[in-house]
Chain A
Amino acid sequence: MPSSWPSRRIPLAWLLLTRQPMRLAVALAGIAFAGILMFMQLGFRDGLFEASITLHKLFDADLVLISPRTTSSVAMEGFPRRRLVQSMAHPSVEGVSPVHWNLLSWRNPQNRATRSILVLGFEPLDPLLQDDSLRRQAPLLSQRGRVIFDERSREEFGPIGPWFRQGRLIETEVAGKRVRVVGLVAFGPSFGADGNLFTSAETFLWLMPDTPAGSIELGLIRLVPGSDPAKVAADLRRQLPPDVMVYTKQGFEEFEKNYWATSTAIGFIFTLGSAMGFVVGCVIVYQILHGDVSDHLPEYATLMAMGYPLRDLLGVVAREGLLLSLLGYGPALVAALGFYGVVRSATGLPVVMTSGRALLVFVLILVMCMVSAFLAMRRLADADPAEIF
């Protein structure tokens, strides 16, 4: 029953904000800016971590072996292929795939510029990725000098996708040797590699004749269904010599993410960027609310003189902060979705909005507005009702 609504009051906070539309617009622009800044920085950071394991997530493996000297996907070191064979002695191991992994220079067939591309060499009939298109086309690699190109690689590598679909014969140089593109897959670049190329182990060794005999960079291990990867990994760690590291597939992904997060400046920079967005937002909202409270100080003092308790006035400022955060979040979210689209199409990085991040930024904006409101409230203590006469 609205007619007996004793708690309903005039929405003073709302009216204070909306009766000054220009000031409100500036405030919302400031909050939205801070929100976008946080969205972009967090998006880049998570996108980077996600992008660094684009391929990692696809490997058809339960466990992997890498060299203990390997630090990340851009610095894969070799280890003896024998270790992979030794692991087959474990009863839970169903099959293994040795993989060669290196960054080699690719010549753009259109403008002849060279650029570093990630090349994976594997036995074409062995499983490599959980991806049907690669599995289907892999037999084409059995001839030397044949490669499958990732068409979502950066466009600096040349218009391979369109040319290939037009039926053109694409031949170019990798590490100074002539190769022919015989198929396309679509995975996408990562922070470490601008593009991906798949070839047979034989072609890889032909491209990289200096590779020590029997040395590989990655060993994929598939377990019999129902076995516990963590337990088998522990067994293998005990059985194999210390010149090899055993990871579960998830552990391998974490290892890679962890490298970018801790061993490079990148994770730190983007986290710091988000923090800066937060601080900038706080300053903007504080300025707005502080100015607002100062402007209306005589009016607040009048309300106190009329008998309104200070608590009510603090409530007005708090509600102003809450309204600003709600009104500022919408534009920030919409703009961030737009910018994410731009970033995706410009860089090919998987920068997408997750509900977790949408919630996180909302909470940050809310905290930002409430902290600023709280700081601006101190100004209310200056509202001495005795001064208004």
Chain B
Amino acid sequence: MLSRSPEAFSTSPSDLATLSVQGLNHWYGRGAMERQVLQGVDLEIQPGEVVLLTGPSGCGKTTLLTLVGALRSVMEGSVKVFGEELNGSSRQQRQGLRRSIGMIFQGHNLLRCLTAEQNVQMGADLLPGLGFRARRDLAREWLRLVGLGDHLDKLPHDLSGGQKQRVAIARALAAHPRLLLADEPTAALDSRSGREVVDLLRSLARDQDCAVLMVTHDPRILDVADRLLQMEDGRLWGAETAPLEVLG
């Protein structure tokens, strides 16, 4: 299903990109209530690249994330994740693709009834062909890497906000994603733990050659980015400019 016709099949360098978005338009509502939230968005992210996306609320950042994360169907334009076209993809195709896309949310969205270790293992469980013990060991290893090796058996309820977000990162990375989408992962954290979480995210993603697309409002963490993007009224600005120039 990479290409449905010879015309759609292209051998341009963008096929090697982790993520390639071209001429993406998206609308909400119908008829008189119709409102365009994304207007001709073009975006490309290479493997291992960390890209930050900022912009006022309601400008379409989250919509872009859900489209790229294969959570919503594409209306117009092209979204290719790992070279696979999402426009016109089936529900099953998107679900399979999501296994390779890690997601970290504003709220940690951990399963309340599971311990830290079990939460991370829910991520590792998505890996095919591994035995239960192997997946559990993987979960423990990831928790150690995010510095929670001593909190394996704690429920989310007993963890601090920063610790929960670190469990969420471990869970997302435990499934060996090639693309990590993060929606304001530091919003609920104080500056120190926010900083720690982002540094951790960046270094772990680097080690795995996993690309990161992170939406954030937090000015303190902008320096982790390889590239900064700004969005306003559904358009991307400064897509190819260096971070400091965008910030002025």
Contact = CB atoms under 8 A, between A and B. Distances in A.
Given A8-B132, A385-B71, A386-B71, A307 B126 contact: yes
A296 B112 CA distance: 9
A306 B71 contact: no
A388 B155 CA distance: 21
Interface string B85-101: 00000001001111111
Which residue of A6, A20, A306, A386 has the most chain B CB atoms within 10 A of its CB atom? A306
Contact of B105 (A296, A308, A389): A389
A9 B113 CA distance: 15
Interface string A7-29: 01110100110011000000000
Interface stretch (A61-69, A87-95, A297-305, A326-334): A297-305
B60 interface: no
Interface stretch (B62-70, B197-205, B217-225): B62-70
A305 B71 contact: yes
A30 B129 CA distance: 41
Interface residues on A, range: 20 to 34
B133 A10 contact: no
B183 interface: yes
A1 B132 CA distance: 10
Chain A: interface secondary structure?
A: helix
A4 interface: yes
A303 B122 contact: yes
A298 B112 CA distance: 11
Given A299-B111, A302-B111, A389 B133 contact: no
B125 interface: yes
Given A299-B109, A308-B126, A15 B114 contact: yes
B148 to A, nearest CB: 18
A286 B90 CA distance: 32
B72 interface: yes
B38 to A, nearest CB: 14
Given A6-B129, A19-B112, A19-B113, A302 B105 contact: yes
A162 interface: no
A3 interface: yes
B14 interface: no
B242 to A, nearest CB: 28
A10 B69 contact: no
A10 B175 contact: no
Interface in A108-166: none
A5 B71 contact: no
A305 B132 contact: no
Contact of B99 (A4, A302, A307): A307
Given A306-B123, A309-B95, A386 B131 contact: no
B46 interface: no
A225 interface: no
Interface in A333-389: 385-386, 388-389
Contacts of A385: 71, 98
B134 interface: yes
A217 to B, nearest CB: 68
A305 B69 contact: yes
B130 interface: yes
A241 interface: no
B62 to A, nearest CB: 5
B193 interface: no
B78 interface: no
Which residue of A1, A6, A12, A310 has the most chain B CB atoms within 10 A of its CB atom? A6
A209 interface: no
Contacts of B69: 305
Nearest to B157: A19
Interface in B106-127: 106-107, 109, 111-114, 118, 121-123, 125-126
A2 interface: yes
A165 to B, nearest CB: 63
B170 interface: no
A10 B98 contact: no
Contacts of B129: 6
B131 A10 contact: no
A12 B128 CA distance: 19
Contacts of B138: none
Contacts of B118: 10, 15
Interface in A284-326: 296, 298-299, 302-310
B72 A386 contact: yes
Given A298-B109, A299-B111, A299-B112, A305 B98 contact: yes
A310 B106 CA distance: 23
Given A19-B112, A386-B71, A6 B130 contact: yes
26 contacts: A1-B131, A2-B131, A2-B133, A3-B133, A3-B134, A8-B131, A10-B114, A10-B118, A12-B113, A15-B114, A15-B118, A298-B107, A299-B112, A304-B95, A305-B98, A306-B98, A306-B99, A306-B103, A306-B123, A306-B175, A307-B97, A307-B98, A307-B100, A307-B175, A308-B126, A386-B71
The 10 closest A-B pairs by CB, nearest first: A307-B99, A307-B98, A19-B113, A8-B132, A386-B71, A4-B131, A302-B109, A5-B132, A386-B66, A3-B133
Given A2-B131, A20-B113, A389-B105, 20 more contacts: A3-B132, A5-B132, A6-B129, A6-B131, A8-B131, A8-B132, A15-B118, A19-B113, A298-B107, A299-B109, A299-B112, A302-B105, A304-B95, A306-B99, A306-B122, A306-B126, A307-B101, A386-B71, A389-B106, A389-B183
